Amino acid sequence: QVQLVESGGGLVQAGGSLRLSCAASGRTFSNYAMGWFRQAPGKEREFVAMINWSGGSTYYADSVKGRFTISRDNAKNTVTVYLQMNSLKPEDTALYYCAAKSGNYRSIRTADYDYWGQGTQVTVSS
């Protein structure tokens, strides 16, 4: 059974930090690229960051570059992906989703991702 379970969301003041985690199991996710997306109320889901299977290559949306850092831990049975979010802004408020993609190419398109978590809410107050 494939599972992607996000955690670490919450309420934080502007300028603060949060660290999101995503535990992925049920597939050999060490062979998958992993990404974070977010969706604010009334808006489309948008790309935030992605990391290749080995962790050696990362890519960020311009809106989070320099503030967010994606990383991963490829343990034997469960891959954990992290999103360190610093200098948070009210416009970062959204439901944050973890996703997994077969194939080691870069993609910001939701349609290219095969598996999704349920999301974790991040709220940044001004």
Secondary structure, 3-state, the chain = CCEEEEECCEEEECCCCEEEEEEEECCCHHHCEEEEEEECCCCCCEEEEEECCCCCCEEECCCCCCCEEEEEEECCCCEEEEEEECCCCHHHCEEEEEEEECCCCCCCCHHHCCEECCCEEEEEEC
**Whether pLDDT at 102 is above 90:** yes
Q: What is the pLDDT of residue 105?
A: 85
Q: What is the pLDDT of residue 75?
A: 82
**Whether pLDDT at 13 is above 90:** yes
Q: What is the pLDDT of residue 103?
A: 82
Instruction: Give the pLDDT mean for 28-38.
Output: 94
pLDDT, tens digit, for every residue of 67-95?
Answer: 999 999 998 778 999 999 999 999 999 99
**Whether pLDDT at 104 is above 80:** no
